[in-house]
Structure 1
Amino acid sequence: MKKAIVPLVFVTLAQVAFAQEFTPNLHDHNLWYVQNREPSKSTTNGIELNAGEGDGMMVLKDFDFQDGSIELDVKGEDKQGASFVGLAFNIQGEYEYETLYFRPFNFQNEARRTHAVQYTYNPDYTWDVLREKYPGKYENSLEPAPDPNDWFHLRITKISGKISVYVNNQPDPCLVVSSLSERDNGMIGLWVGNGSMGEFKNLKIVLQPTSVN
């Protein structure tokens, strides 16, 4: 039986006294709102967000995430320039949020492997701004490189603004960055980029304890 997330709706993260684990139902429409996409059940009982113009998200309602971990299985496509898939977090509104996303078409491409995983903070620090100002700091390759047409497992941890990214249960993170946002908590969502579809399943969220003031 899956753990309910309802008690968290009226409790701020600052009140959490111990680690709590949640597995939100991806098919419960009451838990989610969708921005600029149409969700549907995938063939693997996950959720699929269709391709469309602009970025799209499926956001977990009334759920505040500050410190902890998020993990799930993700699937994009080996489609050059048209497969951007991952997570949005610290969501403050339609246009202000952080992302941790992947470009599957770069996973095994020798010329572009270092552009496989990407951190951004929208709207101020998009991928192109970060690549120009801080080359190689907010993106990296995946070792070993996953199959770009297959599922891969993603886990991110966020502790006191430090974000670490792990793929396919590798012991070492493929990317470690410090948050560029001045806000340290917000909602989370499944994210796809311009022209991209994505599939998601097995979402698990662990909230770490924070000090109570």
Structure 2
Amino acid sequence: MRIVIIAAAILFNIAAANSQTKEFENYSVTPNLVKIEIQEIQGESALKVVKNSNVKKVDEPTFAKVSDLNFKNGTIEVKVLSRLLPSAPEFARGFIGLAYRINEDNTKYESIYIRPTNGRANDQIRRNHSIQYYAYPGYKFDKLRETAPEKYESYADMELDKWITLKVVLQNNIQKLFIDGAEQPSIYIDSPEGIEPISGSIGLWVEVGTEGFFKDLKVTINN
């Protein structure tokens, strides 16, 4: 009897997880520590992603994960728009971006994200922190800022509540982010020592205080 109950519970959990999967453009996406829904914004359909309020740590796997991808090298392009939630803490910056090379159980990946409120801040230090790279789990923003200041952050002009095109180009340890069709990257990353690129999925990532929207996702694999 107990085995039957456990089996039923497992099947129920699988069904519940699958029921959360959304069809987004040409992809299927599943929430991980976030809530997702398809919503119209500025007259167009987009994927809305909001971090779960019970996730207190930052730079965590808070993303909508794309199903059935084996991505290591190539290009990810997407348009993002972020707003601050009414409940956003003072330190919220509209964090939004991409996670990539996500392993099966979401315990390892890399990420580049932006902080739109910093793009036009009246503080040069904040402006210099408009773009952030990190590698999960051992190289979050605070560790990188302490051990290699300025190396994994950069500036670019950006604002809240406006569509921003992010294009991440990956070739093994070299990662470049191009914003709004610029010819030159806004940040050029050589992964920290010890980070080996792996094949995995990609995620549409947000952080605390962000109401994030994604559209026009394009993935080109060049493994």
Q: Within 2, Cα distance between the matches of 1:151 and 1:199?
A: 9
Q: Conserved in 1, the CA contact under 8 Å of 2:117 and 2:158?
A: no
Q: Conserved in 1, the CA contact under 8 Å of 2:33 and 2:51?
A: no
Unmatched 5+ stretches in structure 1? 1-24
| Counterpart residue number, 2:178 | 166
Residues 73-118 of structure 1: per-residue CA shift (max 9 Å, x gap)? 0011367522211001011233321111011111111311010010
| Counterpart residue number, 2:45 | 45
Q: Conserved in 2, the CA contact under 8 Å of 1:166 and 1:175?
A: yes
Q: Conserved in 1, the CA contact under 8 Å of 2:169 and 2:176?
A: yes
Structure 1 residues 183 and 146: CA distance shift in structure 2, 3 A:
closer
Q: Conserved in 2, the CA contact under 8 Å of 1:90 and 1:186?
A: yes
Q: Conserved in 2, the CA contact under 8 Å of 1:108 and 1:148?
A: no
- What is the SS of the residue equivalent to 2:24? coil
Structure 1 residues 51 and 123: CA distance shift in structure 2, 3 A:
closer
Q: Within 2, Cα distance between the matches of 1:149 and 1:32?
A: 23
Q: Within 2, Cα distance between the matches of 1:67 and 1:95?
A: 19
**TM-score relative to the length of structure 1:** 0.79
Runs of 4 or more consecutive aligned structure 1 residues displaced over 4 Å after TM superposition: none
- What is the SS of the residue equivalent to 2:165? strand
| Counterpart residue number, 1:96 | 108
Q: Within 2, Cα distance between the matches of 1:186 and 1:166?
A: 22
**Alpha-carbon offset, residue 125 of structure 1:** 0.3
Q: Conserved in 2, the CA contact under 8 Å of 1:161 and 1:184?
A: no
Higher strand share: 2
- What is the SS of the residue equivalent to 1:132? helix
- What is the SS of the residue equivalent to 2:146? helix
Structure 1 residues 160 and 50: CA distance shift in structure 2, 3 A:
closer
Identity among equivalent positions (%) equals 27
Please say if 1:132 is aligned against 2:146: yes
Unmatched 5+ stretches in structure 2? 1-22
**TM-score relative to the length of structure 2:** 0.76
Residues 165-205 of structure 1: per-residue CA shift (max 9 Å, x gap)? 00011111000002232233211110111332210000001
Equivalence map 1:1-213=2 (5 Å): 26=24, 31-43=28-40, 44-53=44-53, 54=55, 55=60, 56-77=62-83, 81-82=91-92, 83-92=94-103, 93-111=105-123, 112-142=126-156, 145-180=157-192, 181-208=195-222, 210=223
Give the number of the structure with larger relative contact order, counting CA–CA contacts within 8 Å between residues 6 or more apart. 1
